[in-house]
Amino acid sequence: MGSLSSRAAVIPDVDSIRRETGFSQACLLRLHHRFQALDRDKKGYLSRMDLQQIGALAVNPLGDRIIDSFFPDRSQRVDFSGFVRVLAHFRPIEEEDSEIRDLKKPEPLNSRMNKLRFAFQLYDLDGDGKISWQEMLQVLRLMVGVQVTEEQLESITDRTVQEADEDGDGAVSFLEFAKSLEKMNVEQKMSIRILK
Amino acid sequence: MLRAALPLLALPLVGVAEEPPQKSGSPGEPPPGLALFRWQWHEVEAPYLVALWILVASLAKIVFHLSRKVTSLVPESCLLILLGLVLGGIVLAVAKKAEYQLEPGTFFLFLLPPIVLDSGYFMPSRLFFDNLGAILTYAVVGTLWNAFTTGAALWGLQQAGLVAPRVQAGFLDFLLFGSLISAVDPVAVLAVFEEVHVNETLFIIVFGESLLNDAVTVVLYKVCNSFVEMGSANVQATDYLKGVASLFVVSLGGAAVGLVFAFLLALTTRFTKRVRIIEPLLVFLLAYAAYLTAEMASLSAILAVTMCGLGCKKYVEANISHKSRTAVKYTMKTLASCAETVIFMLLGISAVDSSKWAWDSGLVLGTLVFILFFRALGVVLQTWVLNQFRLVPLDKIDQVVMSYGGLRGAVAFALVILLDRTKVPAKDYFVATTIVVVFFTVIVQGLTIKPLVKWLKVKRSEHHKPTLNQELHEHTFDHILAAVEDVVGHHGYHYWRDRWEQFDKKYLSQLLMRRSAYRIRDQIWDVYYRLNIRDAISFVDQGGHVLSSAGLTLPSMPSRNSVAETSVTNLLRESGSGACLDLQVIDTVRSGRDREDAVMHHLLCGGLYKPRRRYKASCSRHFISEDAQERQDKEIFQQNMKRRLESFKSTKHNICFTKSKPRLRKTGRRKKDGVANAEATNGKPPRDLGFQDTAAVILTVESDKEEESDSSETEKEDDEGIIFVARATSEVLQEGKVSGEEGEVQREESPWNSLPQQA
């Protein structure tokens, strides 16, 4: 497998990325290849436009938000490690992960909590740690077809926020969000099998 | 052709029809004078009967679909077979002899091609090629395994004495029988699977297997047939080798024939711009010619048509007009649906003719057990091997569905009828067995596969009713997952596909696609390439200035429930967290809340966009439901684009845009780079476009300068892509604004060429 390791050498900081994300060597290579394919001008980083080129994202209601999640803190470019870091959230959780993990090391990026945190930040645009009524309404509006009226949307938002909100502040904090989804199999719903 | 149709179709109309028409020249009789009315049955007999049969089949379909409940439980194919049985019984009772059979000639020449063409043309090619390894494995290895094991097991059964000795069949005969009974049938699979919505990978594997195993079946059948004819003593080692070689020849040859015709078809449609009306005809003719050519050369005709459909689709869709596309789609579906209906009905009818078959319980039961068992075993073994190599492994449920979904159908029946009774003395027993097997798989397996799928999936999921939150978030997660999969390029890391696409772009597309179509090809524009220009006009009319904040209202339709709902909502809001003091209110609230709950769930379910998971069978013969997906795509796309343009508005830069104005009228060839610049427009607007207070969206229609003079107005409407470009000044807006009345759009050269100079 000499060629594999020589190709791996092309990726900058490959070891630290591996430690942080937990991806296998083969998977990292695949992602690197994809990164380079997306980076059409060979800049070495991706801009929003590169990601917007992906045709299928244009017909995904959350496409733009996903793209934004690659650019934290209003940056305009994302390098390979940032790219992989976001994708690491979607690595499937294997049994070994939950056993070996000792409490000193930080939680792996693909733990249940981190997956939920990723989804949470897609809702919480202003980053204040709570999904306000407005933000929930915005997400609903994104995901629902045009035949649903504004009032209907608002009443749905009311109910949704009410259901999840426990301390009555009219907004859904992260813990409330996680609690409302405790029965959902998040590990399976937010995992892509090829990212191993 | 008529002669072949006649025995198939001679419906005995009791009494009247049999009379020959009065001939005025009959000997010895004086001419009767001018006849006012003559009964010319014999002249119209054949086509009339064909039409009658198809009419009966269609009426039957209408009757079935009157009852929703029945059709949701029972797949149509079952109902059709049963109808066939009934009709056959009637015919038998009336005419005392079985008139109609599924004649192999008619079947292979007329009934099978439309179905295969339809499947090949609408096959999702990306999915197909992604899973090609698995499909080929199941088709080739699986069919061979099934054939040999079934044949050998049946022979073993005979040796063990469980099969009556009157069934005179040797090892080779059983092998022959095994080869024709082991092939999974595309007609049956399609008919049943389109009612069971399994995930797309699973569907494509089973369906692809059923199409591709035709080559193997044909070869095996022919080889075994010739071995039987030669007599087992005369078979030599070289014959075995020739058999193996012929497998390659048949399959590769069939595929090659298909590709040649695909090439021809794509090339011809490139030049049909002025003769649009013959486009659908060309598609059908050339595809059918591919089938016949392969059949003539004893190659695999199904493979030929499949390859033809797969290969030509991309170019043909680009070249032919929108109306032709629709015509082709509808005609194919109609023909295929019709053929399928007739096939199933005739299967039912043929079963009634007991002179053609002879019963042997051991053989029948043995066959049934063996095909189920060996198929399951084969699937498990192959899947285990395949999972070592696949990115996305096939799990247990997939395997169960795959083995259970291996239906046999009319192909097996036609093949068994083709056997020569003198060479294969046990033919009648085989016929009976085949009939039973086909009926069993189509009826029993067809009926039970849907509950089975449901049961298997339900077993693993939660049983509680999901809360509103969960439902909503589940949808969100699905969309997120789909988006991330696209970012990762789930199917992206394929070196050979990249190479192929480059080759295609450089050479093939240029050769085979019409120039105007070739230029518009690109990813994002592909997605809304078919946006109707009327939609876009209404879009602009609605807002006009789409980027103004007021313009973002979604069209709202009055809902019947809204009045009742809002009152309950208000009630809830007023009462805060639900602490009610009034007893009556408590009652109302509880039931109202439930009702509201139900209404909201219903709303959400109906209103939420569906993520790209469920395989909406584009091969569905009964409903052409692409519109829902297209409409959803359009909506989401429009909203996304709106939002993106809005976000540009927030970044204000003062770049003067007037320079581009004179260049608007510039004529010149639009280079392929222009496409890249279009994306530059969307992505880097602060650099390229300036914004003053209200920016507006203008539609420019991509015009092909060369063909401008020829195309008619309707052409414009349907064939050309729409590009959204934001403009700065109001003067520009007036110049380029779409006039809503006539639907005529200003034809301008793409401004993209002008933009890079500014950057």
pLDDT in tens, B184-193: 888 888 887 8
pLDDT in tens, B592-622: 566 666 667 666 666 777 666 444 444 455 5
Instruction: Tell me the pLDDT band of B737, cut-offs 50, 70 and 90.
Output: very low
Does the pLDDT value for residue B357 go beyond 50?
yes
As a whole number of angstroms, the distance between CA B318 and CA B267 comes to 12
pLDDT of residue B287: 92
What does the mean pLDDT of chain A come to?
79
Q: What is the mean pLDDT of residues B657-685?
A: 36
Between chain A and chain B, how many beta carbons pairs sit less than 8 Å apart? 190
Which of A86, A155, A175, A187 is the best substitution to test chain B (most B C-beta atoms within 10 A)?
A155
Identify the residue whose tokens are 């009658």. Answer: B52
As a whole number of angstroms, the distance between CA B504 and CA B506 comes to 6
pLDDT of residue B2: 43
Identify the residue whose tokens are 């298997």. Answer: B456
pLDDT of residue B257: 93
Query: What angle do helix axes B468-488 and A112-123 make, rounded to 10 degrees?
Result: 100
What does the mean pLDDT of chain B come to?
69
Instruction: Tell me the pLDDT band of B694, cut-offs 50, 70 and 90.
Output: very low
Whether residue A140 and residue B472 make contact (CB cut-off 8 A), yes or no, is: yes
At residue A149, what is the residue type?
A: T
Asked if residue B382 lies in contact with residue B144, where contact means CB atoms within 8 angstroms, the answer is no
**Higher-pLDDT residue of B430, B719:** B430
pLDDT of residue B288: 93
Lowest mean pLDDT: which of B40-44, B63-67, B336-340, B729-733?
A: B729-733
Q: Is B563 on the interface with A (CB under 8 A)?
A: no
Does the pLDDT value for residue A164 go beyond 90?
no
Does the pLDDT value for residue B223 go beyond 50?
yes
Instruction: Tell me the pLDDT band of B456, cut-offs 50, 70 and 90.
Output: confident
Instruction: Tell me the pLDDT band of B374, cut-offs 50, 70 and 90.
Output: very high
pLDDT in tens, B463-476: 456 677 777 887 78
**Higher-pLDDT residue of B219, B610:** B219
Lowest mean pLDDT: which of B114-123, B353-362, B406-415?
A: B353-362
Whether residue A60 and residue B483 make contact (CB cut-off 8 A), yes or no, is: yes
Using CA coordinates, name the residue in chain B closest to A50: B683
Does the pLDDT value for residue B447 go beyond 70?
yes
Whether residue B470 and residue A184 make contact (CB cut-off 8 A), yes or no, is: yes
Does the pLDDT value for residue B377 go beyond 90?
yes
pLDDT of residue B565: 36
Q: Is B643 on the interface with A (CB under 8 A)?
A: yes
Asked if residue B408 lies in contact with residue B437, where contact means CB atoms within 8 angstroms, the answer is yes
pLDDT of residue B527: 40
Whether residue B609 and residue A144 make contact (CB cut-off 8 A), yes or no, is: yes
In chain B, residues with a C-beta closer than 8 Å to the C-beta of A62 are 476, 479-480, 483
Please tell me the distance in Å from A30's CA to the nearest CA on chain B.
7
Lowest mean pLDDT: which of B48-52, B367-371, B586-590?
A: B586-590
- Report residue B553 as tokens: 């209202």
Helix locations, B357-426, DSSP H? 361-387, 396-404, 410-417
Q: Determine the straight-line distance between the first and last CA of chain A, rounded to whole angstroms.
A: 19
Whether residue A155 and residue B569 make contact (CB cut-off 8 A), yes or no, is: yes
Does the pLDDT value for residue B280 go beyond 70?
yes
Lowest mean pLDDT: which of A183-192, B299-308, B676-685?
A: B676-685
- Identify which of A54, A146, A193 has the shortest CB distance to residue B635: A146
In chain B, residues with a C-beta closer than 8 Å to the C-beta of A34 are 488-489, 492-493
**Higher-pLDDT residue of B498, B433:** B433
pLDDT of residue B169: 74
pLDDT of residue B33: 72
Residues near A168 by beta carbon (within 8 Å), at least 6 away in sequence: B577
ipTM score of the complex? 0.89
**Element of type H or E holding B699:** strand B696-701
Does the pLDDT value for residue B261 go beyond 90?
yes
Instruction: Tell me the pLDDT band of B681, cut-offs 50, 70 and 90.
Output: very low
**Higher-pLDDT residue of A129, B289:** B289
Does the pLDDT value for residue A84 go beyond 50?
yes
In chain A, residues with a C-beta closer than 8 Å to the C-beta of B600 are 155-156, 159
Does the pLDDT value for residue B657 go beyond 60?
no
Does the pLDDT value for residue A53 go beyond 90?
no
pLDDT of residue B685: 36
Which of B199, B394, B464, B472 is the best substitution to test chain A (most A C-beta atoms within 10 A)?
B472
pLDDT in tens, B500-541: 777 777 777 778 777 766 655 544 344 444 444 445 555 555
pLDDT of residue B537: 52
Which of A29, A59, A185 is the best substitution to test chain B (most B C-beta atoms within 10 A)?
A59
Lowest mean pLDDT: which of A101-110, B83-92, B110-119, B241-250?
A: A101-110
In chain A, residues with a C-beta closer than 8 Å to the C-beta of B559 are 149, 152
Whether residue A37 and residue B472 make contact (CB cut-off 8 A), yes or no, is: no
φ/ψ region of B692 (left if φ > 0, alpha if ψ in -120 to 50, else beta) reads beta
As a whole number of angstroms, the distance between CA B385 and CA B460 comes to 26
As a whole number of angstroms, the distance between CA A138 and CA B554 comes to 13
Q: What is the mean pLDDT of residues A75-80?
A: 86
Lowest mean pLDDT: which of B16-30, B382-396, B481-495, B724-738?
A: B724-738
Does the pLDDT value for residue B4 go beyond 70?
no
pLDDT in tens, B61-110: 888 888 888 777 788 788 888 888 888 888 778 776 666 777 888 888 98
Instruction: Tell me the pLDDT band of B296, cut-offs 50, 70 and 90.
Output: very high
Q: How far is CA B391 from CA A27, A192, B198, B388, B490, in A?
A: 11, 11, 19, 9, 10
Q: How far is CA A145 from CA A153, A181, B103, B203, B635, in A?
A: 11, 24, 51, 28, 7
As a whole number of angstroms, the distance between CA B187 and CA B209 comes to 12
> How wide is the angle at C-alpha B516 spanned by C-alphas B513 and B522, nearest 5°?
80
pLDDT in tens, B570-599: 333 333 333 333 333 333 334 556 666 666
Q: What is the mean pLDDT of residues B22-27?
A: 45
pLDDT of residue B218: 81
Please tell me the distance in Å from B469's CA to the nearest CA on chain A.
6
Query: What angle do helix axes B427-439 and B322-350 make, rounded to 10 degrees?
Result: 120
Does the pLDDT value for residue B677 go beyond 50?
no
Q: Is A31 on the interface with B (CB under 8 A)?
A: yes
Query: What angle do helix axes A150-164 and B468-488 make, rounded to 10 degrees?
Result: 100
**Higher-pLDDT residue of A3, B11:** A3
**Higher-pLDDT residue of B120, B551:** B120
Asked if residue B621 lies in contact with residue B117, where contact means CB atoms within 8 angstroms, the answer is no
Lowest mean pLDDT: which of A118-132, B153-167, B300-314?
A: B153-167
Instruction: Tell me the pLDDT band of B494, cut-offs 50, 70 and 90.
Output: low
